[in-house]
Amino acid sequence: MNVFKMFSKEAMKNNYNMTSFWLGMDHYTVVVEPNLFELFSKECLEKTRFAKFARSLIGNGSIFAPVDIWRPKRKHLAPTFSTKNLNNFCNIFSQQSLILVERLQSTLTSEKFSMWPFITTYTMDSVCETVLGIQIHAQTDKEQPFLKALNEYLTVGSSRIFKPWLYIKAIYKLHPDSQILRRTKKTIWEFVSNIIEKKREDIKRTKSKEASSGVESTESFLDLLLESADGVKFTNHYLIEEMLVLLLAGTDTSAVGAGFTCVMLSKYPDVQMKVYEERPILHTDLPKLKYLHAVVKETLRLYPPVPIIGRAVEKDVLLLILSIWGMHHNPKLWGDDVESFIPERFLNGSVPSGAFAPFSDTNTP
């Protein structure tokens, strides 16, 4: 990440807010200007080589799939992300939060500790229950096989990005890391596949029980997809790819956002107190938490969970790095206090147009 920060800062210094660099045999152009960011992100939808590395695990999962595969998949998935469905998960988030708070009690006697292992296991438990409808107890069981395999795969797999000599498949197959990826991928795919098979078998029984008792259970994203109009058409392979996308994207982005928000609240007690005074009673109160919303946004500006996205301009064979981190830290856009943590900037209307895109979307509410 430090490499991308360095080139993002270099781009900020140029009048045209762009710079470039070579990574192996690929030449990348770094963009930190909002208008160009929006243009390229909307017009250039094909991904760079980095996406191919992700496909080795998730196949043609919607986020990293080629455009011709991604578009129809999006139509299938979009209805499951309705506000009603998301609100149904609030009890799950609340229950997992109570476990997180209990675990954090053990740190009260520590001067310093890392939030990361606490937050990542919390988000993994929350995402597994909302996406797959299962409890893996990652917060209390550090030896959970799926969690261990996933962490090992991501650690080893991400190291390949900055080793261009390993981009060639024939060479990488001979590397020890390749064997680790094959082994851990097998564990990950088998875990998700077994859950899908069980869900298919359980759906009819669950429906009949609910019909007789009148009690409805919280449906996961997997349940919603299987019960949708196209559910019977979805193969296990298709569902594994999409479930892995939701697991990876939901766990990591949520952990980064929540983790850095906790860090900011610990560094700024006055901000923490304002958030505390605004605390909700019910999930219906969430839209009223204006200051908390501003705190989260300011945290995402300084520490975007998706700091860069790669796009390919196919006509001119140009590779782009759209630096979200660079755009969020550009003093030409945000002013001289760009590095300061000021939640109020999201309350007083001083956010530059198109300059806030923590998840790559400049229309983030």
The ranges assigned to domains in the chain are: 1-66+294-365, 82-263
* Burial annotation 198-212 (CB, 10 A radius, 16+ → b, else e): ebbeebeebeeeeee
Residue 264 pLDDT class (50, 70, 90 cuts): very high
Higher pLDDT, 164 or 97: 97
118-122, 158-162, 205-209: range with lowest mean pLDDT: 205-209
Instruction: Kindly tell me if the per-residue pLDDT of 67 is higher than 60.
Output: yes
Question: Under CATH, which architecture does the 82-263 domain have?
Answer: Orthogonal Bundle (1.10)
Angle of helix 290-302 versus helix 236-267 axis, rounded to 10: 100
Give the up-direction half-sphere exposure of residue 175: CA atoms within 13 A in the CB hemisphere: 16
Locate the DSSP E strands across the chain: 18-23, 26-31, 308-313, 318-323
Question: Hey, which residues does 18 pair with through a beta bridge?
Answer: 31
Interior/surface letters 67-92, b for 16+ CB within 10 angstroms, e for the rest: eeebeebeebbeebeeeebeebbeeb
pLDDT reading at 55 higher than 90: no
- Does residue 209 carry a pLDDT above 60? no
For the whole model, what pTM was predicted?
A: 0.84
pLDDT at 300 > cutoff 80: yes
Buried b (16+ CB within 10 A) or exposed e, 312-321: beeeeeebbb
Q: Which residue has the higher pLDDT, 258 or 73?
A: 258
By CB atoms closer than 10 A (0-12, 13-18, 19+), residue 30 is: buried
Answer whether 327's CB lies under 8 Å from 37's CB. yes
Contact by Cβ (8 Å): 12, 2? no
pLDDT at residue number 332 = 93
Range with the poorest average pLDDT among 107-116, 184-193, 243-252: 107-116
